[in-house]
Structure 1
């Protein structure tokens, strides 16, 4: 794995490493890039944090083309985010992904910032209001645990909220109504050991969400 020292030639090093990687992959499988150029057929939509320490394909040890990816600060899934919804719609309707994974990570700077009312981060404060809403909704549960583990619990609760938000979208529910397989999962990545933790969240149909959130009951 290449590590690039800070300096004015950083980007030259990145381009050189890219050429070396492409040559190595082509030598191992001469048809790899030709097949990849013909189209993508991922089975997984990955919604994760923008943190540079959590690169999806690398931590899952998957080749290019295996994951369709959307990332934002603190891996939140608000219903008002048209960027996110466009990604989900394309992944579900066009690519026919079978799994949507919301992947948070412990030590998330966005989650930590959302817990601190004294931090002022400019425009990011508006985005982190989504996480602060989760914090407020679960404040009693979070206050009941020691301070040193509170941030980790909020990471997990924030993932759970994003999983539910995705299940509440008309995009996913329409797919279920059509009989399409779409399963939403919640995972958390552990920076200390590189392991993905399955939180046991699995939503695969209308029967798994509360009735007031059920928007689609028949094929549209």
Structure 2
């Protein structure tokens, strides 16, 4: 067995002494980190996350004191009111900025709060939220000072993430005329943030599962759900606002292209 291996990979065997030598030199020169270095690298956080585990325990105890049956209820399953699609930015924590109850949000987050037809992650979240959880609201929330939106506005290759940012570049292309009339880099950025949110809401409305649910509820009750909402958060002001968008007007021109469930097919 050893003879066969030697004939098959002689160069690999010849390299072994050099590799072992490198390992020995690395061990001899490896620095031992000081507590100050560790503290700096971890940004003063606990290396073993003991502080988080302890804080979670305090939270659970506080909840039990205020509501003894809380965990019994949530242990039986979830029933969120909202599907929240937002950006990964650490400043945009949906449960905090929306001040909603625990369990009210079914959350999907990605860089730039995008809804792409090729993203099975986002599409799976939408499918589950609409068809299984029956959420009455879908929120797409963007935010000003968004790194993804800023990056898409620059003429540079961002590496692998460029394939993702191209979706926001497409939003720029679709709204080029309007954006070209906006004076100033920051106002233009803020408007692109808003336009991106609107476009992602339209992408939500393009999905078959959302169209089917809305058409079914409309035929049964005269009111279409889930409702789709475009929100933008301003981290610098702590302000969450809803964009005034009429989806019927936005989609009317393209109904013949994207409408998968015309009324007559549902009757």
**Superposition RMSD on alpha carbons, in Å?**
2.2
Residue 209 of structure 1, CA deviation: 6.8
Higher relative contact order (CA 8 A, sep 6+): 1
1:111-190 equivalences in 2 (<5 Å):
111-118=149-156, 120-146=157-183, 147-179=185-217, 181-190=225-234
**Residue 194 to residue 214, structure 1, CA distance change in 2 (3 Å):** same
After superposition, what is the alpha-carbon deviation per residue over 1:36-62, rounded to whole angstroms, capped at 9, x for unaligned? 111111111100001111111111112
User: How many pairs align?
Assistant: 216
The match for 1:75 is 113
Contact 1:111-1:155 within 8 A present in 2 as well: yes
1:1-220 equivalences in 2 (<5 Å):
5-9=43-47, 11-118=49-156, 120-146=157-183, 147-179=185-217, 181-201=225-245, 203=247, 210-212=254-256, 213-217=258-262, 218-219=265-266
Contact 1:186-1:202 within 8 A present in 2 as well: no
Q: TM-score, normalised by structure 1?
A: 0.91
Contact 1:183-1:203 within 8 A present in 2 as well: no
Instruction: Identify unmatched segments of 5+ residues in structure 1.
Output: none
1:185 counterpart SS class: strand
Residue 206 of structure 1, CA deviation: 11
Alpha-carbon distance between aligned partners in 2 of 1:69 and 1:164, rounded to the nearest angstrom: 18
After superposition, what is the alpha-carbon deviation per residue over 1:180-205, rounded to whole angstroms, capped at 9, x for unaligned? 62111100001012221100135489
1:69 counterpart SS class: strand
* Off by >2 Å, runs of 4+ in structure 1: 4-10, 201-210, 217-220
Instruction: Identify unmatched segments of 5+ residues in structure 2.
Output: 1-41, 218-223
Max Rg structure: 2
Alpha-carbon distance between aligned partners in 2 of 1:205 and 1:21, rounded to the nearest angstrom: 46
**Greater per-residue helix proportion:** 2
Alpha-carbon distance between aligned partners in 2 of 1:62 and 1:209, rounded to the nearest angstrom: 36
Alpha-carbon distance between aligned partners in 2 of 1:199 and 1:166, rounded to the nearest angstrom: 16
**Greater per-residue strand proportion:** 1
Residue 64 of structure 1, CA deviation: 2.0
2:243 counterpart SS class: strand
